[in-house]
Amino acid sequence: METLAAAAPARSFFPSFLLLACGTLVAALLGAAHWLGLFYQLVHKVDKASIQHGGENVAAVLRAHGVRFLFTLVGGHISPLLVACEKIGIRVVDTRHEVTAVFAADAVARLTGTVGVAAVTAGPGLTNTVTAVKNAQIAQSPVLLLGGAASTLLQNRGALQAIDQMSLFRPLCKFCASVRRVRDIVPTLRLAMAAAQSGTPGPVFVELPIDVLYPYFMVQKEMVPTKPPKGLMGRVVSWYLENHLANLFAGAWEPQPEGPLPLDIPQASPQQVQRCMEILSRAKRPLIVLGSQALLPPTPADRLRAAVETLGIPCFLGGMARGLLGRNHPLHIRQNRSAALKKADVVLLAGAVCDFRLSYGRVLSRSSKIIIVNRNRKEMLLNSDMFWKPQEAVQGDVGSFVVKLVEGLKGQTWASDWAEELREADRQKEQAFREKALTPVAQHLNPVRVLQLVEETLPDNSILVVDGGDFVGTAAHLVQSRGPLRWLDPGAFGTLGVGAGFALGAKLCRPDAEVWCLFGDGAFGYSLIEFDTFVRHKIPVIALIGNDAGWTQISREQVPCLGSNVACGLAYTDYHKAAMGLGAQGVLLSREKEDQVVEVLHDAQQQCRDGHPVVVNILIGRTDFRDGSIAV
């Protein structure tokens, strides 16, 4: 009896084990079939006769999102998408360096409020864009970077220009995806475009392997052996390749939605707006600092301007908010920001953050009530654990918040003597600038005087692109943006080399505007070759180079601190002649033409109106205008 009782569990164990083993095997087979796309291929067939290609899917999504320009440097990995974009009317603009293509896309994003798009080839083509992508991330620009890649089958097998591109761009981008099948191109790009504009805007990256872009017959030729394989292993490999090809193209040309997905834009709650209204209503010396985020969609610039004017609070404007109030507006305070912030009893930081530009928050008075509004919570609270504390921290869209604030504070007024005090400090500082402009320099032209004349010459429809250190830093005090979204600088990353790309994107977006680029001579070295791009694509811009033969912003501190000018010296190079060699117009402006500066600038404008890019090489001397400014 004991033997029979012991045998019973054993007999019941084997059927259970067999059932489990069979279930596991079936699950594994089903999983493998799904991974190989066998189920999908039962329903969605491959059109082997089609000459369509994945590049056409890319172009269709871009067109559906209103993309007008695609910036690129050509490479075989991405040729199909370039051809497809050109075919449907998207203007393809090729540059001489991939970084310029991304900078141009960044400019388009900032000026239009849409996504700027660049496409570059695999490997070194993509690595060349890293600086521009990081700049877009820090500047919060919605840029879509399309990158070529090795075939899906050849990745990690030593293919030409094949690297782990996803690991490279994940830290730089809000969204990264690698498309593995042609049918996934459309939904992946729609997600990427929405991600770029939602929340805190920023760059996104989509990797497009070469076999998802080219047509079926070409991929088949490269992927599947022409001769029948021999042996069992050869047949298995051949079946795998044919199945991979079929899964790559199954359902590729079936209709899919191509248009924009809804965006997720954070908004301040009514309770937060109400609390901020109460704080401002009790202020005696309120002050606003507006940053680039204030100009993001959905609030139009003219509506934001009207709100700021209605509010009637003195303000400082930075980044893309420069020019919001036009020139010489009584509410726009331009100088002595640190002193003004110390005196204010309520400060509204609207899209501005407490990084190095506000001395990490130390420039704010401990007795002031601080309201900060930002889409990005981490940036909003930067250094608030050390040097400053917000009375109200509002995570939401800046422009919408300001409009709501004004709606609740209509009729509120503040003492006029506060604004007049700030304006008087402005006038005193500007008088000091005028005196510096008249101070003789040891050689060449006084840069302060030159920039004052530039300020007097700039037309109302101009867009300013600034790229440099000392010369551009001086210009920031002297040259005013003529309106909102008419000033382009790199942003907090302080990147040199943005000039040509920003100018390219700006002129394409605003063909009727005069695009003026203010370059330091060091920074111009990055952009010089792109005058070939301007000439080839008939894009007239004006470049003014403040040529003082050196990296002066660095030298200004390095020499007195460390006693050496090593690596800071350049030459008074004939940049205008180099530009002429590329087909542009070039002019030298030196002390011999000191009384002809305005005339030379007007001649450059006329050349530009005639369709020519122009480089004005301005030889300048050294001044003490920027003594004490930071370089690190």
Asked if pLDDT for residue 357 goes beyond 70, the answer is yes
* Domain-located, residue 569: yes
Q: Does 16 reside within a domain? A: no
Contacts of 530 by beta carbon, 8 Å cutoff, 6+ apart: 95, 96, 97, 100, 500, 501, 504
Sign of CA dihedral 225, 231, 234, 240: positive
Answer yes or no: is 526 within a domain: yes
Q: 236 versus 180: which is more confidently predicted? A: 180
Q: How far is CA 435 from the centre of its chain?
A: 38
- Tokens 């087909």 appear where? 583
Whether residues 236 and 332 fall in one domain = no
Average pLDDT value for residue range 477-485:
94
> Is the pLDDT reported for residue 32 higher than 80?
no
Domain boundary among 418, 448, 476: 418
C-alpha distances (whole Å) from 109 to each of 115, 215, 242, 499, 506 are 5, 31, 42, 15, 10
pLDDT score of 617: 98
Contact 515/542 with Cβ under 8 angstroms?
yes
Instruction: Identify the weakest region by mean pLDDT among 210-214, 277-281, 620-624.
Output: 620-624
- Tens of pLDDT along 282-314? 999 999 999 999 999 999 999 999 999 999 999
* Residue at a domain's end among 354, 387, 418: 418
Question: Are residue 363 and residue 461 in the same domain, yes or no?
Answer: no
Q: Which of 145, 148, 98 is nearest to 122 (CA)?
A: 148
Nearest to 216 by CA among 186, 188, 250: 250
Beta strands across the sheet bearing 315-317: 315-317, 286-290, 346-350, 369-374, 392-395
Q: Which residues contact 457 (CB under 8 A, 6 or more apart)?
A: 598, 601, 602, 605
- Alpha-carbon span 260 to 257, nearest angstrom: 9
Which CA distances in Å does 181 have to 153, 209, 238, 259, 423? 12, 9, 19, 20, 61
Instruction: Work out the pLDDT band at 625, boundaries 50, 70, 90.
Output: confident
Query: pLDDT tens-digit profile of 35-53?
Result: 666 666 666 778 888 999 9
- CATH number of residue 131's parent domain: 3.40.50.970
Of 33-47, 68-82, 359-373, the range with the lowest mean pLDDT is 33-47
**pLDDT score recorded for residue 239:** 83
Q: Say whether both 182 and 73 belong to one domain.
A: yes
Q: Are residues 73 and 208 in the same domain?
A: yes
| The pLDDT value given to residue 47 | 84
In this predicted structure, which of 62-66, 115-119, 620-624 has the lowest mean pLDDT?
A: 620-624
Report if residue 38 sits inside a domain.
no
Please write down the HEC assignment for all residues of 389-453. Answer: CCCEEEECCHHHHHHHHHHHCCCCCCCHHHHHHHHHHHHHHHHHHHHHHCCCCCCCECHHHHHHH
In a domain, residue 314? The reply is yes
Domain of 392, CATH number, reads 3.40.50.1220
Instruction: List beta partners, residue 369.
Output: 346
What is the H or E stretch that residue 472 is in?
helix 470-478
Q: Does 27 fall in a domain?
A: no
What residue type is assigned to position 525 of the chain? G
pLDDT at 401 over 50: yes
Give the torsion sign (CA, 486, 491, 494, 496).
negative
* Per-residue pLDDT tens over the stretch 421-480: 999 999 999 999 998 998 889 899 999 999 999 999 999 999 999 999 999 999 999 999
Q: What is the pLDDT of residue 30?
A: 60
Return the bridge partners of 518, or none. 466, 544
For the cut 90, the answer to whether the pLDDT of residue 196 exceeds it is: yes
State the DSSP code for 518: E
pLDDT band for 231, please (50, 70, 90 cuts).
confident
Q: Same domain for 300 and 389? A: yes
The number of distinct structural domains making up the chain is: 3
Average pLDDT value over all residues in the chain: 92
Examine the domain organization and report whether 132 and 277 are in the same domain. no
Under 8 Å CB-to-CB from 461, ≥6 apart: which residues?
A: 482, 512, 513, 514
How many other C-beta atoms are found inside a 10 Å radius of the C-beta of residue 277? 16
Clarify whether residues 463 and 608 are in a common domain: yes
Residues 463 and 384 in one domain: no
Angle in degrees, CA 581, 586, 591, rounded to 5: 135
Q: Which of 315, 317, 316, 313 lies closest to 283 in space, CA to CA? A: 313
Which domain range does residue 446 map to?
439-619
Angle between helices 98-112 and 130-139 (to 10 degrees): 20
The residue to which tokens 């791009």 are assigned: 533
**134 & 206 share domain:** yes
Domain boundary among 418, 450, 481: 418
Max CA separation in the chain (angstroms): 122
DSSP state of 89: T
For every residue of 544-607, DSSP letters joined together read EEEE-SB-HHHHHHHHHHHS--TTTB-----HHHHHHHTT-EEEEE-GGGGGGHHHHHHHHHHH
Is a pLDDT exceeding 80 seen at residue 166?
A: yes
231 or 176: which leads in pLDDT: 176
Does the pLDDT of residue 1 top 50, yes or no? no
Q: What is the mean pLDDT of residues 362-367?
A: 94
Single-letter amino acid code for the residue at 355: D
Which of 111, 76, 116, 69 lies closest to 94 in space, CA to CA?
Answer: 69
Are residue 357 and residue 291 in the same domain, yes or no? yes
367 with 494, same domain: the answer is no
Task: Return the pLDDT at 3.
Answer: 53
Reported residue count of the chain is 632
pLDDT at 243 over 80: yes
Q: Identify the CA nearest to 505 among candidates 149, 101, 213, 180.
A: 101
Same domain, 411 and 554: no
Task: Tell whether 576 is covered by a domain.
Answer: yes
What per-residue confidence (pLDDT) applies to 10?
54
Query: For residue 399, is it within any domain?
Result: yes
What 3-state class would DSSP assign to 340? helix
Contact 272, 408 (CB under 8 A): no
Residue 26 confidence (pLDDT): 67
